[in-house]
Amino acid sequence: MVFFLDLHEDIICFHIVPFLDEPDIRALFLTCKSLSLSLNQAVVWHQMFRKAFKHDNVPFDIYYKWPQLYKLRRSCKLLTFGNNGYSRLGWLFGSQDAALEILDHGQSKRLVKPVELTFDDEHIADVTAGGFAFCVLTTRGNVYFTGRNWHGMAGLSEPGPKTRDYNFGSEPRPAYEPGKCVNKVQLPENTKISQIGSGRSHFIGLDTNGRLWTWDSVGRLCRGVELDLHLENGDRVTGPIERIRAGWSLSSCHIDNLGIAVWNRRDSLAPHSGEYGPVRAYVSVIDGTVAIDDYIVLDNFLIYLTAQGELYRVDLPGELSPRIGRGSKLAKFQEYAEKHSQYGSHKTRFVRLSGSFNRFSAITNDDQVLLGDKSSEKPQIFRELQSNGVISVAVGDYHFLALNKKGELYAWGRESHKNGCLGLGTLSAALSMPGVRQDGNDIVVEQPVRVPISGQVLAIAAGGWQSAALVHEK
């Protein structure tokens, strides 16, 4: 008989650990000294990081130091800053709160410093930003949203139910008082979410069993609805979902052997559906997207990244047809990247995408950062971002954040009504920075500037008029 401890450490690390959840791997470390020594390898710590925090898009050149990175990520704090309308920053501030700067006209409130949010002593796996809230996923698979509502009183809008969901009874509403304003979403028992995505006034989630969930109905603020995807001919979509993306006013997912599927409406939840559904959503499939590396969905268009590192744009009509063409290549992006390549004879490839609303970013394998706009085919270039190790760009309505491998945060764009979403401190401090100017009620930053945050930034999010950063304080 072969006992577990008799197995060679390569068998344990390479063939058993990949099938375990992150808490189970940590439990193995505590089993005995022998196992702890066998597991204390970079490949195991890398697996733990990926299972807990979902991606390798990390801000340090320490891929050979996964133990340190894993511990840094578990100890980071979530800081939010910007407009606090609908308590989207996760707080109900008192009128004299020290974190606010009241401007002269007495209406706008500028958050002087980022404020930390905690989630019932859980570690944060991911954070996404919508138009009116942040959506937070924890390593336990729980989901939270900030503020009094995630839809900003937007009413019924795509991609929600056709009319209204059946009313199973009013959801309990917490009594909001000055202080933290964070809500835990409700799901059936033992349901754990593994991926999240935020649109303008909705968000979606994928659980560990491959089921798809949506929060898109004003009448069901905290309670999710399970989706059952179908093609226009009625056939049920059965392939495993690899990734999900919430667009500005629709939802999407990438399905194995099918490609990108998008939808902008679902059936209403009815009494026979059960309290959580499922309900049908009829999807449109984007041609030529079976073998892609990544994609993003914005306001009625999407960008996808092929396995060859090429970018394509697909415009989405208001009335979605069952099949949508593969779109057109972003030729000017490719031309610029190749012309300014640092590799010479090697092919420059795009490797990372991000974006929201009307704007997006694409990063190459040789440290170029190109920004795109819905209304232009030409990339926008900022000298401050090139060859700066930028690994992530977050896009709000009118403002941008960028994070590099050193954990440095940069911001630029328009700060509507001086709301603080650029994180530049007090109004006087912001206006004293080079390239920062006032334009009516707004602040405009023409070029990326360094944001004065104490500590190393590990991840960023932006949406609407608000921003967030996961920070490890040194």
Q: How confident is the model at residue 307 (pLDDT cuts 50, 70, 90)?
A: very high
333 burial class (0-12, 13-18, 19+ CB within 10 angstroms)?
Answer: buried
Q: Mean pLDDT throughout 143-167?
A: 84
Phi, psi dihedrals of residue 459, rounded to the nearest 5°: -160, 155
pLDDT at site 342: 79
Q: What is the mean pLDDT of residues 152-177?
A: 74
- pLDDT band, very low/low/confident/very high, at 95 (cuts 50, 70, 90): low
| pLDDT band with cut points at 50, 70 and 90 for residue 156 | low
Where is 152: in which H helix or E strand?
A: none
Whether the per-residue pLDDT at 55 is higher than 80: the answer is no
Question: What is residue 63's predicted lDDT score, i.e. its pLDDT?
Answer: 47
Helix (H) or strand (E) holding 323: strand 323-324
Comparing 397 with 57, which gets the higher pLDDT?
Answer: 397
Among the ranges given (12-26, 162-176, 326-340, 443-457), the one the predictor scored with the smallest mean pLDDT: 162-176
As beta bridge partners, residue 413 has 399, 445
Lowest mean pLDDT among 55-69, 120-134, 271-285: 55-69
Segment 374-393, tens digit of pLDDT: 999 999 999 999 999 999 99
Predicted TM-score (pTM) of the model is: 0.92
Gap between the Cα atoms of 229 and 206, Å rounded: 13
> Is residue 167 scored above 50 in pLDDT?
yes
pLDDT for the residue 85 = 85
Confidence label for 325 from pLDDT (cuts 50, 70 and 90): very high
Angle at 212 between CA 211 and CA 215, to 5 degrees: 140
* Distance, CA of 313 to CA of 300 (rounded, Å): 11
Q: What is the pLDDT of residues 399-434, one digit of tens each?
A: 999 999 889 999 999 999 888 999 998 888 899 999
Domain ranges across the chain = 1-59, 76-123+397-474
CB 396, CB 413: distance < 8 Å: yes
Band of the pLDDT at 105, cuts 50, 70, 90? very low
Closest by Cα among 92, 59, 91 to 73? 59
* pLDDT the model gives residue 62: 46
pLDDT value at position 38? 85
d(CA 65, CA 215): 38
**Please, which pLDDT band fits residue 281 given cuts at 50, 70 and 90?**
very high
Which range, 4-8, 144-148, 341-345, is most confident? 144-148
The whole-angstrom separation of Cα 151 and Cα 130 is 9
Is residue 206's pLDDT more than 70? yes
Among 132-141, 157-166, 247-256, 356-365, the minimum mean pLDDT is found in: 157-166
Higher-scoring residue by pLDDT: 106, 370: 370
Instruction: State the chain's mean pLDDT as an integer.
Output: 88
Indicate whether 285 pLDDT > 90: yes
pLDDT at residue 306, as a whole number = 95
